[in-house]
Amino acid sequence: KRLLNVLQRLVDKGNTVLVIEHNLDVIKSADHLIDLGPEGGQRGGQIVGIGTPEELCQIEQSYTGKYLRPLLEKGHYEPRED
């Protein structure tokens, strides 16, 4: 939670923030995602999806979307107000 607050303050001050992360709480808070996969190591490194957390959930090949979808559907997600 503290990390998310720091990142949000940076964005609020006009900064662009690039984060490489596996934590779903951080991922669901992003404005824009680039999902790499479909697997790790030699079976990864390809762009699986690009878009908002909601858009990524619609991409069948995205493992990130698969695990993010229940968090967004159950209302654990608080959309950002711009």
Mean pLDDT calculated for residue range 12-40: 94
Give the residue with greater pLDDT, 29 vs 77: 29
CA angle 33, 44, 58 (to 5 degrees): 40
Q: What is the pLDDT of residues 38-55, one digit of tens each?
A: 998 999 999 999 999 999
pLDDT for 77: 52
Question: What pLDDT score was predicted for residue 21?
Answer: 93
30, 51 Cβ separation under 8 angstroms: no
Residues 6 or more apart whose Cβ sits within 8 Å of residue 3:
26
Cα torsion 7, 64, 82, 14: sign = positive
